[in-house]
Amino acid sequence: MTAQGSTGRLLAKLVSSVPATISPEDVRERIAAYYASYAAGDVAGREALFSDDCHVEDPAGYVVARGAEALHRFFTAGIPTDWSVTFRLDRVAVVGNEAVATTLSVIDAGARGGVENIVTTHFVFDDAGLIRSLRTFFDAESMNDPSTSSDPSTSSDPSTSSDPSTS
């Protein structure tokens, strides 16, 4: 969707003028496949989306993989087998061969509990459409314990109740 005003058209033209060797549709498809591979438990499919010389930081600044062999170790040993990891893909912005995706990651770590986490991921694709670089961004402020309710109407504190009769 492009804003109809002249500023929106100008910005859309600027973004579309950035050189790219793969289409925005292909970038979006690859990003969706990357996130879907977690729920499907498809490590091989996930790895196939990356170039052999990939660089992965998760979180940004913490290098977890350089190259296909290290990437395989990260995907197979970095996430315990009894954990469930899924993502809800909320938004993808594509400029050239790069994209930023915003997701909600939901991790169920079994007896250790779970966490919901807003994650922003920066992807860089090579000319063949493979992920050359991936960097994730999240912090403590973006995390939520899914076992606690954030709905104020279920709070036992009357000052947070949405019921007007308690005011």
pLDDT band for position 41 (50/70/90)? very high
pLDDT average, residue stretch 29-40: 97
| Residue 10 included in any domain | no
| Residue 87 included in any domain | yes
| Residue 8 included in any domain | no
CA atoms within 13 A on the CB side of 64: 18
Would you say residue 35 has pLDDT above 60? yes
CA distance 140 to 147: 17
| Residue 158 included in any domain | no
Domain with residue 33: its CATH number is 3.10.450.50
Domain of residue 86 covers 21-149
Domain count, the chain: 1
CA distance 28 to 35: 11
pTM flag (> 0.85): no
| Residue 139 included in any domain | yes
Residues in the chain: 167
| Residue 163 included in any domain | no
State the DSSP string of 71-135. Answer: HHHHHHHSS-TT-EEEEEEEEEEEETTEEEEEEEEEEE-GGG-EEEEEEEEEEEE-TTS-EEEEE
Over its C-alpha atoms, the chain yields an Rg (Å, rounded) of 20
| Residue 123 included in any domain | yes
Q: Which of 31-40, 46-55, 131-140, 153-162 has the lowest mean pLDDT?
A: 153-162
| Residue 159 included in any domain | no
pLDDT digit string (tens) for 103-153? Answer: 999 999 988 889 999 999 999 999 999 999 999 999 999 899 887 745 443
Q: What proportions of the chain, in percent to the nearest 5, are helix, strand and coil?
A: 35, 35, 30
Helix (H) or strand (E) holding 12: helix 6-16
pLDDT digit string (tens) for 54-112? Answer: 999 999 999 999 999 999 999 999 888 888 999 999 999 999 999 999 999 999 998 88
